[in-house]
Amino acid sequence: MAYLFTSESVSEGHPDKIADQISDALIDNFLAFDPESKVACETLVTTGQVILAGEVKSKTYLDVQTIARDVIRKIGYTKSEYMFEANSCGVLSAIHEQSQDINQGVDRQNKEDQGAGDQGMMFGYATNETEEYMPLALALSHKLLQELAALRRENNEITYLRPDAKSQVTLEYDDNNKPVRIDAIVVSTQHDDFDDEPAMLAKIKKDIIEILIPRVVKSNPAYAHLFNDKIEYHINPTGKFVIGGPHGDTGLTGRKIIVDTYGGKGAHGGGAFSGKDPSKVDRSAAYATRHIAKNLVAAGVSEEILVQVSYAIGVAKPMGIYINTYGTSKLNLTDGEIAKKVEVLFDMRPYFIEQRLKLRNPIYSETAAYGHMGRKPEVVTKTFTAPNGDTKTLEVELFTWEKLDYVEKVKATFGL
């Protein structure tokens, strides 16, 4: 039976995403100067104020105020009328040293025995309905806001955009679980004030439909056939959206975990990602299970797959690995039998995840907006500056968990 499925995304200027980006900028700076840093950093943003809190074990010292302001400036909060502005907002740090009780459960004399930084279960998911092996509704929701942010920065075709925005895409699927068309699109974007409110609302709707949507279609030709003249558009459905960002809504690290992962498809574990170093399996094992899921689907094991792993705090070996192929497996094996082979092929002890995916590098700022999954692996050069003026320039590989580097090993393991 045909059905509808919806996913949402939020822009880099959304309050929760500001918080995520600040937390991950701190992670990157700690790891740049001390790759063995243990960090759990939370950020709260509200009108004119940033509050940092968390636990750190590191050999380096950071100017957290400057780092936070740089992130806010890069996002685009640079005007006083936003009531949250990079140069003038207060930045309060309540970061303190990590509990030794936790640290003793993670660090080991033999690094390979490194324990999990917390208990919990983590999920990875992949589907072949997009070239990124991501759920299509979420992929389109991200693409809408990435293109909207590009329009804002160009400040040419649309000149009134402010940083805060949300999107939502509803897809219609057929009886074979294949997306056939876009049923509805929601875009809410913060904007400058207009003298004439009805004219303002009409212009914003016209610009989104006639400027934004064609740009998304042009840059994503593989999905052009899903756009149609029957799409129901809800553009700024509450009306005026001048008050936004942290002035309109308090932001907190880790509140957009479904946006960060699979848009409601598959499953999500118990923890958020941003602000955590890779010893925290909430983050590293979620990346590792995505890496497994994507390589399994790309190798032809199944059309979609869910991978779960679970840990006890301080224990290296996972409690277990679970696989669900949703009845789409191409193998003459049960999902449990697939899981046993996966357990041998991918070492899921925390140290080996960190090594396999190169997670002790400063690669996290780029994950903190528009999703941690489905992104393009690439090598970039990043420069960091310490409070004493020392700089460190590093070449790092982003989104290593998105690489299809295990496809041939998977095929060999399963005889594909």
Q: With left for phi above 0 and alpha for psi between -120 and 50, is residue 308 left, alpha or beta? A: beta
203-209 own/partner pairs: CB under 8 Å, 24+ apart: 204/160, 204/235, 204/236, 205/233, 205/235, 205/236, 207/157, 207/158, 208/233, 208/235, 209/233, 209/235
Known binding-site residue numbers for L-methionine: 55, 98, 249, 280
Known binding-site residue numbers for Mg(2+): 16
Known binding-site residue numbers: 14, 16, 42, 55, 98, 164-166, 240-241, 249, 255-256, 272, 276, 280
- Distance CA(42)–CA(53), nearest Å, equals 5
Does the CA dihedral 193-197-203-207 come out positive or negative? positive
- Distance CA(409)–CA(124), nearest Å, equals 19
Known binding-site residue numbers for ATP: 14, 164-166, 240-241, 249, 255-256, 272, 276
Place of tokens 């329009």: 151
Known binding-site residue numbers for K(+): 42
Token readout for 396 is: 């790092």
Cα→Cα distances 25→107, 109, 179, 381, 404, Å: 24, 29, 37, 15, 27
Please spell the DSSP secondary structure of 308-331, one letter per residue. Answer: EEEE-BT-SS-SEEEEE-TT-B-S
Q: Which of 356, 351, 346 is nearest to 316 (CA)?
A: 351
